[in-house]
Structures are given as C-alpha cells and as structure tokens.
Chains A and B, each alone.
Chain A
Amino acid sequence: MNLDVVVYPILSLGGLGLLFGAGLAYASKKFEVEVDERMSAIRDALPGANCGGCGFPGCDGFARAVVEGRAPVSGCPVGGSECASALGSIMGIDAGDTVKKVAKVICNGDTARCKEKFEYEGIEDCVAANMVAGGSKSCQYGCLGLGTCVRACPFDAIEIVEGRLARIIPEKCTACGKCIEVCPKTVIDMVPYHQDVVIACNNKEPGKVVRQKCSVGCIACKICVKACPYEAIDFKDNLAFINYEKCTNCFVCVEKCPTKAIEGNFERRNIDKKDAI
C-alpha cells in the first residue's frame, strides 16, 4: 500500500488548517474588541426594551456609549431618574435630577375642527396617506390620525380617538421616541410629564391661512406672548412655543388664547410642577 495516499492529504490539509489558524489568531489580536466589565453591569441596570429611544442601537449600544463617555448616564429616557442613578453609581458619577418626559401629539384639529381637502380612501397608514398630496387634511402640519404611531409604539401608549386624532397616554409613555421617528408630519413632541400647558398646534403658516383651515390652530396673534407674566412664551415661524423651565402652570395663556390652541386641564391649575406626582 502506498502511504502517500494517507500522508499527503493529512499534511496538506493539516498544514492549511494550521496556517489559517495562525492567521486568524493574529487577526483576532489585531481586531480585538475590548469589553469593559462595567458595560455588562450597565446593561443589567437598563430596562432592556431595546427601544432605541436614547439614540443608540439598543441597550447594548447605549451601555457601550456610556462606558466610552459618549452618552450621559441619564441618557435612557425609559428608565428615568431611578435608572440614571443606578448607572451613575456604576460609573461613579452623580446623575443629577432628570425630568421625566412624555411624547405628546401637538394637534387638536380633529375632523370636526380641521377641514378635509378630499376624501382619502387609500392604505390606512399616515406615511402612505402623506404621499398623496400630503394627506387629506387641509392643514399640512396636522395629525393624520391613521395610526402609524400606534403601530410603532412598543408600549401600547397611543390610541386613535374620535375625530381621527392620535392621543398618547402619558402614564404609559416611556419617551422612547419611536412615534416621533415614524410620524410623517413630525406632529409629536416631547414635553415634561408634569407640564400641563402645551401649545397644541404645529402649523407654521400665517394666521389668516390657519384660520381658514382649522378652528383650533395657532393664528400667530401673539396674545399669549404678551399675556404671560413669566415671559415663558416665545415666538418662531408663526407659532408660539413655551419655555417649559419658566412656565409655572398659571394658565393665563390658556384663558387668553382666542382659538383655544393652548391646551390645559384647569383642574390642575397652579399646581407646583415639582410637587405634582
């Protein structure tokens, strides 16, 4: 029997395997990815919903960013201040107070208040509807109410109410920002959880145009800017916006607004935001 038949394959293939093994060993040293042990500790302290609300790809990505100092320990919007202080103790940094925020649909123009341009009978999806002349609403900034955000919300915190408007349930919202990402109108904004006074209009057109389209739009009259005793309201692009740090929930602007475009629940008037739970 010829021994070559056995020896050659073993030597050549074994040699190849050895060669590749050595090459890979060298490459693994060169392309080594360091794993910090703080990273796994942080990942355990995070909620683990992988929602991406922090702006990083999942909780893993955020944990890595925190370790590398690219993200603040308070960067997780879902975990809130509890999570931030846990992360702070791992990293040895004081977290400070973080204000819990929730998403809010800044539009009150339901089908009764905001005129329809045409009857939309296409796919029940805001992105699809937006492709057809910007949706059926005459206001091109308003909520289309076809539920793209409802389907995107991982926490079941959004519902479509009477008059085709999306509404976010603050108790369930974790401020992950998924709805803001998918909304073709970007009519969803982040507001502090205890902020009761919110400008519920997104229309940047001049007052006269807004008046023709919607009965609850901001008509850029600036009455609220003058009325606010704390100078908390500013004006930009024909739209008022509130500086939430200065606002004290005094509700003066809610009373004065001629089109009721500023939203506020009067039962909660004058409640100090810091005490409100």
Chain B
Amino acid sequence: MEIFIILVSSILVNNFVLSRFLGICPFLGVSRQVETATGMGMAVTFVMAMAAFMTKLIQTHILERFEIEYMQTIAFILVIAALVQLVEMIVQKTSPTLYQSLGVYLPLITTNCAVLGLTILNINADYNLLYSVINAIAAAVGFSLAIVLFAAIRERIELFNVPEVFKGFPIALITASLMSLAFLGFAGLV
C-alpha cells in the first residue's frame, strides 16, 4: 500500500516538474519534439534510479558512519556527475541521433536539480533502499510524463497562428503554467 502511495504521490501529486518546480531547464529545453523528450525522459529515469540507489548506500555506509553528513551535497553531485558521464557514453554509442538532438542538455542532467532534489528528498523522507529506488523511478516517470505531454502540446502549438510576441518560449511558459494548474487538481489524492 505504501508503495502505491509513493507512486501516486511522486508521479501525479508531487510531480517533480509541475508541482515541485524542479528540473525546469530540460523541461523547457528538450521539449520541442516528442521523440527527443522521450529520450530525455529515459536518460533521466536511468540516472535517477541509479543515483537514488547509490546515494542511499553512500549516505548510510559512508556519510553516516563517519558522521560527515555535511558532505552530502558534494558526495551526491559526484555520484550524479559520474552517472551522467556513463549515460552520455552509452547514448553516444547506441544512438548518435538521440545524442545529437539532446545536445548540451544531456551533460546538463548533472546540474538537473530534479536529480539532486530527489536524492536529498529521499534521505529527508527516511525511505529505505527499496523505497528510495521506487520513489526515484516514480519521480522519473512523473518527469517523463510531464515532458512528453508538454512536447506533444508544443508540437501542436507550432502549427497554430500564435501572436508574434508570444511565439517560442513565451507561449511555452504559459502552456507550462496551465499544465501546472491542471496538475494542482491531483492535490487532494494522497
């Protein structure tokens, strides 16, 4: 039951992008096409799940054992940076097209506050290892859901006759805010 609550909470109610406002940078940057957005979602999912797993281990076995919790941010960023490097190599090898279309946003997952935010929220919520990973996957699914929906809407907006001043990012930001309002509707669920 608790797992179900974590899933619903992280995917819908406390959606990382639309409710917690974390990871806005890739949300706006890589949402021009559904295909790239899906690729970004998968890359972030992989990084988040692995990062949650490793940071939890590091937190309990290194930081807490030696009582150096104040090193949390540095240690976690180290983990995330290493993971992003790994993902970058894998993506470059397996799908050069995706690698090109993700562009600078792929290494920027390192500084994606959604990933660091998730790992720290996990520790604050005192989840055990399993729940941490489940929460990470749920959060990443929530991120992917938001970015893919947003990309689909933006693809349609491309066809519309948008007033000159609103073209590009302004209309995208308005869309994002409306999506955020819509997701507010889930607030009473959990």
Q: Which residues of A contact B (CB under 8 A)?
A: 4, 8-9, 12-13, 16-17, 20, 23-24, 27-28, 31-33, 57-58, 60-61, 64, 123-125, 127-128
Contacts and interface: CB of A to CB of B under 8 A. Distances in A.
Interface of B: 58, 62-63, 66-68, 71, 74-75, 78-79, 82, 85-86, 89-90, 92-93, 96-97, 100, 159-161
Nearest to A32: B93
Contact of A16 (B58, B90, B100): B58
Contacts of A16: 58, 62, 75, 78-79
B159 A125 contact: yes
Contacts of B82: 20, 23-24
A150 to B, nearest CB: 15
B94 to A, nearest CB: 8
A8 B78 contact: no
19 contacts: A4-B66, A8-B67, A9-B66, A9-B68, A12-B62, A12-B68, A13-B71, A13-B74, A13-B75, A13-B78, A16-B78, A23-B82, A23-B86, A24-B82, A24-B86, A27-B86, A57-B97, A61-B96, A61-B100
Nearest to A58: B100
A13 B62 CA distance: 9
Contact of B66 (A8, A27, A31, A58): A8
A28 B89 contact: yes
In the A-B complex, the 4 residue pairs with the closest CB atoms: A20-B82, A8-B66, A31-B89, A31-B93
Given A9-B66, A13-B71, A123-B161, A27 B97 contact: no
Contacts of A32: 93
A31 B92 contact: yes
A23 B159 CA distance: 46
A123 to B, nearest CB: 5
A64 B97 CA distance: 12
Nearest to B83: A20
Which one of B63, B75, B79, B82 has the highest number of Cβ atoms from chain A below 10 Å of its Cβ?
A: B82
A124 B160 CA distance: 9
A9 B89 contact: no
B159 A27 contact: no
Contacts of A4: 66
A121 to B, nearest CB: 12
Label chain B's interface by main secondary structure. Answer: helix
A61 B97 CA distance: 8
A88 B82 CA distance: 42
Contacts of B89: 24, 27-28, 31
Contacts of A20: 78-79, 82
A57 B100 contact: yes
A28 B88 CA distance: 10
Which one of A8, A61, A124 has the highest number of Cβ atoms from chain B below 10 Å of its Cβ?
A: A8
Contact of A33 (B63, B86, B92, B159): B92
B144 to A, nearest CB: 23
Contacts of B161: 123-124
A124 to B, nearest CB: 8
B53 to A, nearest CB: 14
A4 B74 CA distance: 19
Nearest to A5: B68
A161 B25 CA distance: 43
A29 to B, nearest CB: 10
A128 B78 contact: no
Contacts of B85: 24, 27
A127 B159 CA distance: 8
A4 B65 CA distance: 12
Which one of A4, A13, A58 has the highest number of Cβ atoms from chain B below 10 Å of its Cβ?
A: A13
Contacts of A13: 71, 74-75, 78
A21 B155 CA distance: 40
Nearest to A125: B159
Contacts of A9: 66, 68, 71
